[in-house]
Every structure is written in C-alpha cells, then in structure tokens.
C-alpha cells in the first residue's frame, strides 16, 4: 500500500509502432533511427521527429523482438561453476574489457561447487547467444552442444580437441611449486582438493603430487580430502583430515585454491599449529588477499585477467567468422613465495 510507487503496469509498453505514429513516420524509419543506420536513408527532419517521440514516449527497443528478427542476440554467455571464488572477478574483468559495449555479458552461474551441467548449457543456448564461454567444464557433454554457437572453453585442460581453449599453465605452475617445497625439505604432503572434480582441479592435483612423489615425496591417507571453495568448508575438511595426516607425518598441505588455503590456516590456528614451523601451506590462484593473510600465503598465480581477455578476444574472432589460427593458448603463472611455507621442523 504505497500509492506513491509507480507500479509496473503490464500492457503499457511503448512499441515502435506507437513511436512511428507519434512522429508521423513508418516503423521502418523508427527502426533505422534507433539502429543508427539512418545516414543517407532518413531525412534529418524525420530523424529529429523520431528522436523527440522516443524521448517523449520513453521508448526502449525490444531486444527480444529485435533478436528474433535479426536471428541472433548480441549476448555472450559466460557459464561459470562457482562465482563465490573471487578468482572469477578477474576473469570477468578481462572479458568485459574486451567486449566493451559491443556485446552484453550474461553470467550463468551454477550452484556452489557444481560444474556447468548440460542443462545449464542447453538453457544458455536458448538465448541464442552470439557466443558461449564455458569455464572449467569436465564432461564430454560439451560435445552435444557443439555447432550451436561459437564456443570458447576456459581452464579446460584436456578438452582442446573439442573447442578453442584458453588454459592455465598447470604443469609449469606445479613444477615451480614442487621445486620450492622439495628444496625446503618437505617429503610428506596433504592435499585439499575442490569438490567440483573439474579437470582443472584433478590436473592441479595430479601434476603436483605426481612431481612431488617422483621426487621422493609421498601422499599419506586420507587422499580424498576435498571441500567447496569456501573458507569454512575448507577449514572443516582440514580439521577432519588432520589427525591422520599428523600421525603420518605430513609437514605441508597444498590446496586447490587460495580460498581453501585460508580455511586451512584458520583450522591450523584453531589447533594451535604454527605456520610454517609446524605446518606449511601453499595453494593455487594467488588472490590479492593472499599477501595480507596471516601468515601471508605462498601461492601460484593463475593469471585471471589474461584468461578473460583471451577468451573474449577469441570469441569475437569466432563470431566474425575469422579463421582463427591459434586455437589453444596457455598462460603461465608465477610462484609467489610468502610466509606460509618454510622448513619443516620435524
């Protein structure tokens, strides 16, 4: 009961026909004006009249009808598994930078910890997007969807044969981290994985643990420790796993993401463990918070903005129909050594 509100009045919508009538021209003329295609096609007088009428009536183009007519919406859809990870902010920033005003970016966010499902992708396809950017898919369902719209995969190692892919240099990152940890003298490693078994995460684990074990390290049980990408969930997972890990001599815990590493730090604090004296912690992402956490976190940078930029650039090329020479790009990250890793004291 707030009479002062201007409530939504269905049926009140202003159409091009109404504008045309108001301006004394035809719909075609209105269309030309709103689409900025009137040069040399519409008289200045009519352009002015149409613009006045648009302003006066408060007309906005119906993009739905427009898209139907044109056969495609100027929409690029990003399907991402878990926007709660601040890592995405960087990716999104990179994408938006490239798209500018040419395309609207639509985010289709799956639920926490879930992978993009076929359903999500189908639903996105319904919008007739100009292109699809899919983050960290792991299933072959992407195959079903090919051919419907230009598609670029982001952080999808092992799927380069399916569609153009922008990847993170997991192997080189893992290598950097391994060198660092082995040099410090660690030999027994716990690993906190992400629950979204997407390929990028299994690969982070495999690449790193593979290297560590090949160098003489070992991974004690439990080996299936995982959580969603949230501080508290990761903390819980760590607290549950720690007694066994501790018994088996773990001196270093590596996490799939920085956020989870924060959870481990939190858990370690609760247990009274000193970092890095009693336990070293390292992870992937290098979020900007990692330099001010307590202790500051040793982390491998995964260049988010670059990923976004490259994916968007690639998508634009596909839309334009250009033959794209490079269909697989990899961005390598750097290792940032901070306070959370040190020599094991035992």
Calpha distance 160→175 (Å, rounded):
22
Among 123, 213, 243, 249, binds a second copy (CB under 8 A): 123
Site for a second copy in 210-249 (CB under 8 A): 230-232
Tokens of 66: 């427009």
Site for a second copy in 279-298 (CB under 8 A): 288-289, 291-296
Tokens of 78: 């990003």
Residue 71 is a binding residue for DNA (CB under 7 A)? yes
Tokens of 284: 């992937």
Site for a second copy in 306-345 (CB under 8 A): 318, 323, 325, 327
Q: Which does 215 bind (CB under 5 to 8 A by kind): a second copy, DNA, none?
A: none
Q: Which does 37 bind (CB under 5 to 8 A by kind): DNA, a second copy, none?
A: DNA
Site for DNA in 248-287 (CB under 7 A): none
User: Buried b vs exposed e over 225-260: b needs ≥16 C-beta within 10 Å?
Assistant: bbbbbbbebbbebbbebbeebbeeebbbbbbbbbbb
Residue with tokens 């999808």: 156
Site for a second copy in 13-42 (CB under 8 A): 13
Question: Quick one: CA torsion of 291, 293, 299, 304, rounded to 10 degrees?
Answer: -70
Residue 63 is a binding residue for a second copy (CB under 8 A)? yes
Q: Which does 28 bind (CB under 5 to 8 A by kind): DNA, a second copy, none?
A: DNA
Nearer to DNA, 26 or 84 (CB): 26
Nearest distance in Å: CB 104, a second copy: 7
Nearest distance in Å: CB 60, DNA: 8
Tokens of 119: 């359903």
| CA dihedral over 180, 186, 192, 198, signed as positive or negative | positive
Q: How far is CA 144 from the centre of its chain?
A: 22
Among 3, 10, 40, 147, binds DNA (CB under 7 A): 40
Residue 65 is a binding residue for a second copy (CB under 8 A)? yes
Number of residues in the chain? 346
**Is residue 10 classed exposed, middle or buried when 0-12, 13-18 and 19+ CB atoms within 10 A define those classes?**
exposed
Residue 207: partners with Cβ closer than 8 Å, 6 or more residues away? 170, 171, 173, 174
Nearer to a second copy, 296 or 330 (CB): 296
Backbone phi and psi for residue 134, each to the nearest 5 degrees, phi listed first:
-120, 125
Calpha distance 189→114 (Å, rounded):
27
Site for DNA in 45-64 (CB under 7 A): 45-46, 59, 61-62
Angle at 269 between CA 182 and CA 170, to 5 degrees: 35
Q: Classify strands 151-154 and 189-194 as parallel, antiparallel or unpaired.
A: unpaired
Residue 144 is a binding residue for a second copy (CB under 8 A)? yes
Residue 41 is a binding residue for DNA (CB under 7 A)? yes
Sheet of 104-109, strands arranged across: 104-109, 75-80, 131-135, 151-154, 165-168, 328-331
Among 22, 25, 156, 211, binds DNA (CB under 7 A): 25
Residue 223 is a binding residue for DNA (CB under 7 A)? no
Residue 106 is a binding residue for a second copy (CB under 8 A)? yes
Among 45, 161, 214, 272, binds a second copy (CB under 8 A): 161
Nearest distance in Å: CB 234, a second copy: 10
Binding residues vs DNA (CB under 7 A): 13, 15-17, 24-32, 34-35, 37, 40-43, 45-46, 59, 61-62, 65-66, 68-71
């Amino acid at each position: 009961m707030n009479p002062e509100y201007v409530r939504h009045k269905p049926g009140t919508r202003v159409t091009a026909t109404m504008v045309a009538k108001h301006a004394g021209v035809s719909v075609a003329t209105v269309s030309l004006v709103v689409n900025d295609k009137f040069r040399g096609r519409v008289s200045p007088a009519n352009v002015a009249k149409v613009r006045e009428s648009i302003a006066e009536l408060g007309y906005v183009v119906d993009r739905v009808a427009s898209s139907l007519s044109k056969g495609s919406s100027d929409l690029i859809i990003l399907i991402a598994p878990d926007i709660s990870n601040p890592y995405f902010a960087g990716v999104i920033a990179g994408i938006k930078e490239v798209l500018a005003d040419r395309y609207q970016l639509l985010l289709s966010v799956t639920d926490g910890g879930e992978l993009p499902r076929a359903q999500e992708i189908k639903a996105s396809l319904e919008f007739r997007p100009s292109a699809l950017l899919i983050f960290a898919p792991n299933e072959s369902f992407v195959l079903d969807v090919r051919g419907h719209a230009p598609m670029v995969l982001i952080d999808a190692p092992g799927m380069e044969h399916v569609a153009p892919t922008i990847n993170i240099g997991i192997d080189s990152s893992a290598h950097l981290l391994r060198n660092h940890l082995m040099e410090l003298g660690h030999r027994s490693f716990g690993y906190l994985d992400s629950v979204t078994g997407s390929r990028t995460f299994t690969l982070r684990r495999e690449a790193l643990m593979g290297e560590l074990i090949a160098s003489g390290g070992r991974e004690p049980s439990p080996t299936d420790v995982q959580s969603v990408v949230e501080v508290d969930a990761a903390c819980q997972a760590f607290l549950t796993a720690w007694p066994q890990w501790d018994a088996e001599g773990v001196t270093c815990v590596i996490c799939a993401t920085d956020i989870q590493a924060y959870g481990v730090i939190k858990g370690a604090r609760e247990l009274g463990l000193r970092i890095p004296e009693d336990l070293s912690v390292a992870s992937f992402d290098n979020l900007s918070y990692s330099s001010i956490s307590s202790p500051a976190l040793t982390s491998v940078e995964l260049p988010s903005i670059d990923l976004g930029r490259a994916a968007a650039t690639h998508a634009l090329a596909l839309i334009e129909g250009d033959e794209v020479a490079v269909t697989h790009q990899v961005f390598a990250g750097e290792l940032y050594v901070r306070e959370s890793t040190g020599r094991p004291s035992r």
